[in-house]
Structures are given as structure tokens and as C-alpha cells.
Structure 1
């Protein structure tokens, strides 16, 4: 009787290994704060040594930042305006993508927000970069191409409200479609308040 041999370990290309390690980190991020994530656990799940993990990410902090950046990139991939359409349709595309993403991946998103609140300067910088990109996208979609500082601040405040409502309100409180309607309406009031009126 022959004993089946263990499956051969698959050798991944560097970019594939990095993607695998980041994917593991994204999954673990939903179960614990990022700074409590064990590098040994990540390496073991990937089937590699701790030393090899540090070949791809020089420090634990570099790994954490890469995980948070990947999470932000996934959100930005969904929260995009359609290339064509009216200002209202383009804004709605961003809002719908944002709300739908956050509601589908609530645990992951909350974990990223919690990581940014942890005080690590580089993690916070990634989080802030995502906020800036979203703010710029919303303003551009709304047709506001030279926003005043107060206008930009108002849109960032609206974005914080959108985030809180998408995280906190389940379907029993408001449907995704109704929440998108509410947020688009609120944003229109913000942008109208700061858009110069023709005389």
C-alpha cells in the first residue's frame, strides 16, 4: 500500500505572492485590529516562512500599510462616476458604488476605518489619500472644477455622513436605493450652496 505524497508547494511569482499575502491580511483584518494581526499567522497561512514574508514587505508596518492601501483601492474601484451622463447621474454612480461597497463589505470597511483611527501615521496617510480621491471625484462629477476650501470641506463632511449611514443603517432601517437617494439629495444641497449663481 502506497501512502499518497503531500502536494508539491506551488512557487508563485513575486506579484502573485504579494497579492496572496495582502489577501490574507484583508481577510484577517475583519477579525482583529491591524496592529494585532500576527505576521507569523499570515506567513503560516500562505505556506511560507516569516523571513520570506519580509522579503516582500521589509517591515511589519510596510505589510500593514499595503493591506490598508489594497482595501482602499477596492473601494475606489467601485466608487466611480460613469464616463457619460449628466452631473446628477455621474454623482449617483459614485454614491451608489460607495454605499453598495460599504454595505456589502461592512466588516472589512469598519476594520480599515478602525486601522486608520489607530494613529499610525502611514496608515492614516493612506486613508486620507482615499478621502481626497473620493472628494475630488464627487466634486468633478458634480461639475465643480474650482472648489473653494470651504466647499471641499463641506463635501468631506458629507462623505463622513455617507460613510456613517452606510455602515450603521441596515436594510431594516433604509434600503440601499433609498439611502443613495437621500445622500444624493443632501449632496446636491451642499454643492448648490457653494456654486456661484449667474446674474
Structure 2
């Protein structure tokens, strides 16, 4: 008869296990509410052994934050095939998958959690945003993005982040509607910028020319046209 024996883990394997356990706990509750004792119990080891691998909860939190940041940045990776609107909708689906699965952890990642003021945590959060912006710019096939396009993309990434944080507070708007609305928001931001800049106008027209009649961007035009009868009749004016 054989008796079950706990397998001894190597240093890196144990570290990765603790990061995974901590991330799971941080995903369900605010990191401020999770103790080292809980992490140790969930990992099946003693409290002193946790401190053998991490000097404190802050360092373990930042390690878990790094894993979460890498995973979240990966949600913005999308094959550069098909219409842009459809690609962005898939990206938003994966983004909200992460938000849905790691609610408190996502909030802690974006708001800083117990690592508020930490240069390491702030750098990781900024890295997620930069990776997301880089992915979106790549989909637009623009080698040297003009300043207005960078503003649009950065503004949209920030909007997606703040929208997700607000959605977590009660989930009062259906998730699928928010995903589509954010894709529409991107189109609207780009269209407004195009009204002020010829280079942006050329980019927007090129994108729209590749959009199908049943795509997300076309859906936005349909919804906006439905507002026509109730819109005030104001003659167009050219800004000075």
C-alpha cells in the first residue's frame, strides 16, 4: 500500500504557486482584506514559509499584480484580420471576461489597491495601458500615428477602463451592451477628431470603407440616424 505524500516544490515552482493562490484570493476580494495566513492556508503551507519566498504581502501582491497585468495586456492581442469594428468587439469581449472573472483584482490593479504610490505598481498599470494602445494603433495600419489619433486611442483605453470599473459596481448595464457601446465610442471619438483634422479624416474614411453593412460601426450609424426626428434643427456652422 502506498501513502500519499506531498511533493516538495522547487523554489520557483513554489513562488509561482503562491502568486497563483494570491491572485485567486485577490480576484474575489480586495487585497486589503486578504491576510498572509489565508494565503498560506490556501497554498497548504505555513505562514513562515510564505515569508521565506516573499518578504511581505506587498511584494506578493506586486508579483500577483504583474501576472494579472500581463494577462490583461494579452486580452488586447487580436489577429489583424477582418473589419476593425469586429476586431474591437472581440477585444472588448475578452477584456470584460477578465473584468468579470477578476472583479476585485481588476479594481485593485487599476486603482492601485494596497500598492497605491508604489512606483512598481504604477509602472505595471501604465504598461497595460501602453500595451493596449499599441495593439489598437497596430490595427489601424498607421506607421507614424498623428497626435490626434494617439489622443483618440489613449482616451478610448481610459474610457474602457473607467467603464469597467463603474460596471463592477452593481453591473446595472448588460455587459454585452457595454462591449458594443465601447466599440461605438471608439468610432465616435475618431469621427469627432476627423472633423478637425484631414489626416484623421483619411484614416477614418479608410476604416469605414472596409466595414460591412452589418458590422458594429454600421450599427452605430443606424442608431444615430434613428435620432434624426428628435434632433434640434440647427444649421451647420463652421468654427472660426
2:67 is the counterpart of 1:70: yes
Report the 3-state secondary structure (helix = DSSP H, G, I; strand = E; otherwise coil) of the residue aligned with 2:144. Answer: coil
Distance 1:28 1:100, change over 3 A: closer
String of CA shifts for 1:31-72, please: whole Å, max 9, x gaps: 2335x6544543343233555445544665432221101111
**Could you list the runs of 5+ residues in structure 2 that have no partner in the other structure?**
203-240
Q: Distance in 2 between matches of 1:166 and 1:76?
A: 15
Instruction: State the TM-score, normalizing by the size of structure 2.
Output: 0.66
Instruction: State the TM-score, normalizing by the size of structure 1.
Output: 0.77
Q: How many angstroms does 1:167 deviate by? A: 3.2
In the alignment, is the contact (CA less than 8 A) between 1:33 and 1:115 conserved in 2?
Answer: no
In the alignment, is the contact (CA less than 8 A) between 1:162 and 1:183 conserved in 2?
Answer: yes
**Could you list the runs of 5+ residues in structure 1 that have no partner in the other structure?**
1-5
What is the aligned-residue RMSD (CA, Å)?
3.1
Report the 3-state secondary structure (helix = DSSP H, G, I; strand = E; otherwise coil) of the residue aligned with 2:112. Answer: helix
Match of 1:22 among 10, 13, 19: 19
Report the 3-state secondary structure (helix = DSSP H, G, I; strand = E; otherwise coil) of the residue aligned with 2:29. Answer: coil
In the alignment, is the contact (CA less than 8 A) between 1:39 and 1:50 conserved in 2?
Answer: yes
2:141 is the counterpart of 1:143: yes
In the alignment, is the contact (CA less than 8 A) between 2:80 and 2:139 conserved in 1?
Answer: no
Match of 2:154 in 1: 156
2:14 is the counterpart of 1:10: no
Distance 1:98 1:172, change over 3 A: closer
String of CA shifts for 1:5-42, please: whole Å, max 9, x gaps: x95322124443222101121133242335x6544543
- Number of residue equivalences: 193
Distance 1:150 1:61, change over 3 A: farther
